Structure 1
């Protein structure tokens, strides 16, 4: 039996409802203990900003190592890196302001995400199948034949992409001591997330 094989693509957009922020703090000291103690003092206030509903620390990574100047040890360095997930976007600006005020060594984000992409995936799947069938009907019409039933459907890889999703913020160094940075003026609105589904469909070709 003759067959026609077509590929279909479905794309849908949704507004991100989750954000992820990466932040790191670094301190130095003449010894490892001194570097760690300085780091502990540095992040004490930060930990308080990372608690509460809608904010979750996904990971904490501590690194402590000696610095070397050639073959001579020249003190120690301690860093702690965080990955923070924000499910309540109303808290995002306040969280970023608190992190920037703590003067991190680096701060990156937000990276925009969908908390649940299942509905978007299902819609993109439907669009992909419709696209595959539309292509098949075009080939069948060109051949002067008829499109038969679907024989096989192969799923492609789902892709989730946020256009311009990563806005990188540098450590805050301006303003008067203790002044809260005006993070809201950076226009860090939730971005559009594009969910893409691809499929390959095999249809019978009737005379």
Structure 2
């Protein structure tokens, strides 16, 4: 999520931004919420090669481990009028076993394909020469469920997360994907 403020000067833009995020910062210290990253950007705004002001942006990446906290927190964050709010994106808190299962399946698939190619050449598949990971894609923001229940109070005068609860931000299935590159020797 990101919050953004503009003003004639950088200092004024930062002051406005500081005021805007002051309402949400206490919410980020609640049980079940952790701030994975917080990034500030301050820059000039330009229009037709002329500076027309300055902008300050605060970007956050959060992990939320409680479904009740997620709905209430999202409601409070939206009420504070973010410039952008993306998510949730679901991940496993521990993907060790699913990743191992995906790796076994990827190796079995690679071997089956290699056997098919060897057979197409009228040859037998020999030993494995090399195996490496292949890139699957970029990392996604993570969220997950688990942990104790926690209540998040919206800042004074801000409506609760009831509207957000109707969006059904329930956990989704998580697919663990691995890809491998193998090189095989053909049997003599």
The alignment status of 1:189 with 2:170, answered yes or no, reads yes
Q: After TM superposition, give the deviation of residue 102 of structure 1 in Å.
A: 0.9
Deviation string, structure 1 residues 92-118 (Cα, Å, up to 9, x no partner): 222211111111122112233333332
Larger Rg over CA atoms: 1
SS of residue in 1 equivalent to 2:102: helix
Quickly say closer, same or farther: Cα 1:198–1:77, change in 2 above 3 A. closer
Q: What does residue 178 of structure 1 align with?
A: 158
The alignment status of 1:154 with 2:131, answered yes or no, reads yes
Equivalent of 1:130 in 108, 111, 126: 108
Q: Distance in 2 between matches of 1:131 and 1:194?
A: 16
The alignment status of 1:33 with 2:11, answered yes or no, reads yes
Question: Higher strand share goes to which structure?
Answer: 1
SS of residue in 1 equivalent to 2:23: helix
Structure 1 unaligned runs (5+)? 1-22, 166-176
TM-score (norm 2): 0.68
Quickly say closer, same or farther: Cα 1:185–1:145, change in 2 above 3 A. same
Q: What does residue 11 of structure 1 align with?
A: none
Q: Would you say the 8 A contact 1:161–1:194 is kept in 2?
A: no
Deviation string, structure 1 residues 10-68 (Cα, Å, up to 9, x no partner): xxxxxxxxxxxxx1112233433332222111111110111133322122222233445
Q: Distance in 1 between matches of 2:43 and 2:122?
A: 73
Q: Would you say the 8 A contact 1:59–1:82 is kept in 2?
A: yes
Deviation string, structure 1 residues 107-150 (Cα, Å, up to 9, x no partner): 112233333332222112222333344456667788998777x4
Q: Would you say the 8 A contact 1:161–1:193 is kept in 2?
A: no
The alignment status of 1:200 with 2:178, answered yes or no, reads no
Structure 2 unaligned runs (5+)? 143-156
Quickly say closer, same or farther: Cα 1:94–1:145, change in 2 above 3 A. same
Q: What does residue 12 of structure 1 align with?
A: none
Q: What does residue 117 of structure 1 align with?
A: 95
Q: C-alpha root-mean-square deviation of aligned residues, in Å?
A: 3.5
The alignment status of 1:24 with 2:24, answered yes or no, reads no
SS of residue in 2 equivalent to 1:112: coil
